[in-house]
Structure 1
Amino acid sequence: MDFLKPGTVLDLGNIRDELVRMEDTIIFKFIERSHFPTCPTVYKENDPNLQLPDFHGSFLDWALMQSEMTHSQLRRFESPDQTPFFPSKILKPILPSIQYPRVLASYSPEINLNQEIKDVYINQITPLISRFDGESWENFGSVATIDIECLQSLSRRIHFGKFVAEAKFQADRALYSKMILEQDIDGLYQSITNSAVEEKIMERLCVKAEVYGVDPTNKEGYRKITPAYLVKIYKELVIPLTKKVEIDYLLRRLECE
């Protein structure tokens, strides 16, 4: 998807293709995370065993903030498909800015569910994908590193709902304008829900988890990620959060008309 070409960005076919590619990214990040235990210390705020000078928060928060500060200097968050977890800490890019054509509404950066995504990841996803429940102090750095990659991949996928919402609004302005004016959340929810597409996603995830989730050369058949857990994560967490992004975006869409 080329964000310098607005016509390609709001094509629902292109958006769906991009979402399919994101599945692979997320699955492989989950597989990397599955090599480690839950490591709850990484997520504890102000843990006395992890000294973080002049910082209030968890070891993961500190590492994520440092990562975003560096990535912001490389222009990461100028791209409209990237949403920072620490927007107040974003730095000016060292590289020349890219003037992306405006595709989303001007308030789009304000639609940011990253705190909720992080809470869901820590409390609901890591228990499902971790190798076991417990600590591994020698791997705290590795765990935080892969957690950052998992969070960024999930954030991109979920916030891509903004592009879905804008594409659907553009395709039927009259219908969506009416529902927005009436603040018809149920109507909006029904209009953005495609049960057939969601069912295909679940079927595809099952196949991918079966193929990617186990090393065929491993005679013991240790499975790094299971289809049931992957489907559960998407069905109960990823897709509902994506829809929340879409609804939050659409409810304000007429501000720009």
Structure 2
Amino acid sequence: MASSSVVRPFLEVPGLTEIRNILAQLEAPIVSALTERMNLPTDPSLYSDGGAKLLSFMSVRESIAAASGRYDYGRLEYPFTLPLIPPDITTPSNSFPPGRFHQDTYSGNANITSFYLNTLVPFFNSSTSFFYHLDNSTFNPDATFNLDATLLALLSHRAHIGKVVAETKFASNVSAITQMIQTNDTSAILAAVTNTTQEASVYAQASAAAMAFSNAWLNSGALELTSFNTTLQSATHALFQELIAITTEIEVQYLLQRLD
């Protein structure tokens, strides 16, 4: 169905303070999933061919999720292996005033996948597993891919909330940002959406979460190397550094299509 013929709800985005609170609530689940994933041994062959096996696993999972409405309009959850929903098109009878969510065509999931495979997976080098098998096997591909898919979905959701962040910023400075969009001034748009103070706050909160989760694992008696705390901190910092960059690009791309 063509996007122009789709009847979609009027979804007003929340204010920036509320959005930041929503984003903060996602930091602990992300670090928790990362902590759990780092404690599963990894067979490197699972991620060969650009993560083909992982994406094949996720394709089945996402098809089931799509049937239940997980990726419906306005959910801000976007699949890694399925087509995206059609974008919104502004018409005289279907206007998108500032503050109304406007679906665009951009997804940051390809960048998230690349970062995951090339940067995060090397951190997953545990030699012990929290699964116990009588045959003494340590690898558990299904559990591994399930955690991968869960973590990737959390990262994607967190990043794509950037679309509503961008809409809020557009609504607060319509005239100036409209001019940037019309002149395709990506540098100015990037400057308009960047907030280094907020980024520093995100790093601090994520670091605190990593410290709490690593201490919880160590204090529970889990068989961890003494370097686990430092390793989790490093992985968390790398993750959120890239996540902020991907989120920022999602905001820029959203605004470039905002008047479409």
TM-score (norm 1): 0.79
1:28 is aligned, of 19, 29, 32, to 32
- Name structure 2 gaps, 5 residues minimum: 1-8, 86-95, 128-136
- When residues 199 and 67 of structure 1 are mapped into structure 2, their CA distance, relative to the original with a 3 A threshold, is same
What is the deviation of 1:89? 9.6
Q: 1:204 to 1:182 in 2, by over 3 A?
A: same
What is the percentage of aligned positions where both structures have the same residue? 24
Match of 1:124 among 119, 128, 132: 119
The answer (yes or no) to whether the contact 2:19–2:165 under 8 Å persists in 1 is: yes
Q: Once the 2 structures are TM-superposed, how far is the Cα of residue 44 of structure 1 from its aligned partner?
A: 2.3
Q: Which residue of 1 aligns with 2:16?
A: 12
Q: How far is the alpha carbon of 1:31 from its aligned partner?
A: 1.1
Residues matched between the structures, number: 226
Amino acid at match of 1:58: A
- Kindly report which structure 2 residues correspond to 1:41-120, keeping only aligned pairs within 5 A, or say none: 41-45=45-49, 58-80=52-74, 81-88=76-83, 103-106=100-103, 108=104, 110-120=105-115
Q: Pick from 220, 226, 234: which aligns with 2:240?
A: 234
- The aligned residue for residue 252 of structure 2 is 247
CA displacement at 1:137 relative to structure 2: 7.3
Q: Deviations over 1:159-204 (max 9, x none)?
A: 1111111111011101101111122211111111111111111111
> Which of 218, 222, 228 is the equivalent residue of 2:221?
218
Amino acid at match of 1:155: S
Higher RCO structure (Cα 8 Å, ≥6 apart): 2
RMSD, aligned CA: 2.8
Q: How far has the Cα of 1:5 moved from its partner?
A: 8.6
Decide whether the 8 Å contact of 1:65 with 1:89 is kept in 2. no
Query: Relative to structure 1, is the Cα distance of residues 66 and 27 closer, same or farther in structure 2, using a 3 angstrom cutoff?
Result: same
Q: Distance in 2 between matches of 1:74 and 1:6?
A: 20
In 2, Cα distance between equivalents of 1:84 and 1:217: 35
TM-score w.r.t. length of structure 2: 0.78
Structure-2 separation of matches of 1:43 and 1:112: 22
